[in-house]
Structure 1
Amino acid sequence: MILRTFAAYILDRDGHIANRIDLLCLDEAAARDSTEALAADDQIELWDGDRLVGEFEPAKWS
């Protein structure tokens, strides 16, 4: 089993990086699932190296 590293960047309300969490996941789908769980409270960008995988916004900001 080979795990891949994804970077989840937690953004503040102005869109600036406030923190980074490295995720070790089997694949992109698992990384998305993990990021959705993190995005309950924060806006997050998920990156695979230099490729943006997705942007996640918490429901409470909508």
Structure 2
Amino acid sequence: MTDYRVYILNDKGHIQSDTLIVKADDAQAIEAAKKIVGVRHVEIWDGERLVGRFKTTPDS
């Protein structure tokens, strides 16, 4: 299992809040992040490694 940090960004790209999730791999972490953030810009990090950057939508 890996600790992933999910950063929720504001419209200017600054960190608004963050949360820690623990998942088996990157794909699971991305799916979990999409479910918890709603309509936001998001970055997922595994330590210093950027796993993904995306904007979620209500239907994601």
Moved >4 Å (runs of 4+):
none
In structure 2, the partner of 1:19 is: 17
CA contact (8 A) 2:40 2:57 kept: no
Identity %: 31
Q: Deviations over 1:13-57 (max 9, x none)?
A: 010001011011111111011112234311100001001011111
C-alpha distance in structure 2 between counterparts of 1:9 and 1:37, whole Å: 14
In structure 1, the partner of 2:26 is: 28
CA contact (8 A) 1:39 1:57 kept: no
In structure 1, the partner of 2:46 is: 48
Using structure 2 for the length normalisation, give the TM-score. Answer: 0.83
CA shift for structure 1 position 58 = 2.6
Structure 2: where are the runs of 5+ without partners? none
In structure 1, the partner of 2:36 is: 38
Using structure 1 for the length normalisation, give the TM-score. Answer: 0.81
Question: Which has more radius of gyration?
Answer: 1
Structure 1: where are the runs of 5+ without partners? none
Give the number of aligned pairs: 58
